[in-house]
Amino acid sequence: MHHPTLALTASSNTPSVFKFESHAVRIIMINGEPWFVATDVCRALKLSNPSKATASLDEDERSNLKLDRGGSLVVVSESGMYTLALRCRDAVKPNTVPHRFRKWVTSEVLPNIRKIGGYGTQQRTIEAQALAAAMSQRIFQTLMQSEGDLRAQRWNVRFDRDNREQDLNVQITPIPSNAYIMSFAKLARNIEIGEVGCAASDVELLAIASACTDRVARRIQRR
């Protein structure tokens, strides 16, 4: 059975993973709408033949989703997912698998998606923060065990995610001893009061003042 192919946005290939009882169900956002991986839905509903189940759906309820990394997935729309559930035996009977599945989707999954942009987003944020903390601790231990002046230096650690591979890349750069990390407001305040530890020389102050004056003059000319 031929399934139409959907045109995807760049973020569509990153699924959120649902947990329905003992089953993982993946969902992919396409043009702002949730689409369910058909094999996951059928497994959760105890449908033994996903191909047969999805073939009976309307064409706008199913599609063959091409992935950036290669391969494809058959996905069903929200309407298609409900159709699969309602076609199950005892679909409207309370406490049956299809009934529990529909209740789970409508009461838990979809409200979370529409509220925070994706099921499990908060959990993924927590996991990312934990990973960053663990990486920072590992970097700290490495620097403390190093010889020479590494332990006395300051370091800027940046975490970037590779959009294609979804790997977390770590970029570490030294911070010069005469450099300061602060907001523009704090910089202006420190220059004004000459805070200890951030005292600029007369030459440096004149260079900063000249740069600020030139920048403001150029902005005024463009208005």
pTM: 0.48
Of the options 3.30.160, 3.10.260, 2.40.30, 2.30.30, the CATH number for the domain spanning 10-118: 3.10.260
Residue 68 has pLDDT above 80, yes or no: no
pLDDT, tens digit, for every residue of 10-51?
A: 344 567 788 888 888 888 888 778 889 999 999 999 888 999
194 sits in the region (left: phi over 0; alpha: psi -120 to 50; else beta) called left
Compute how many other C-beta atoms are within 10 angstroms of the C-beta atom of residue 9.
10
Which residue in this structure is represented by tokens 């002046």? Answer: 149
Highest mean pLDDT, choosing among 19-23, 122-126, 133-137: 19-23
- What is the maximal distance between C-alpha atoms in the chain? 83
What integer pLDDT is reported at residue 37 of this predicted model? 92
How far CA 117 is from CA of 28, 109, 111, 148, in Å, comes to: 11, 11, 10, 48
Q: Is the pLDDT of residue 117 over 60?
A: no
Q: Which amino acid is at 126?
A: I
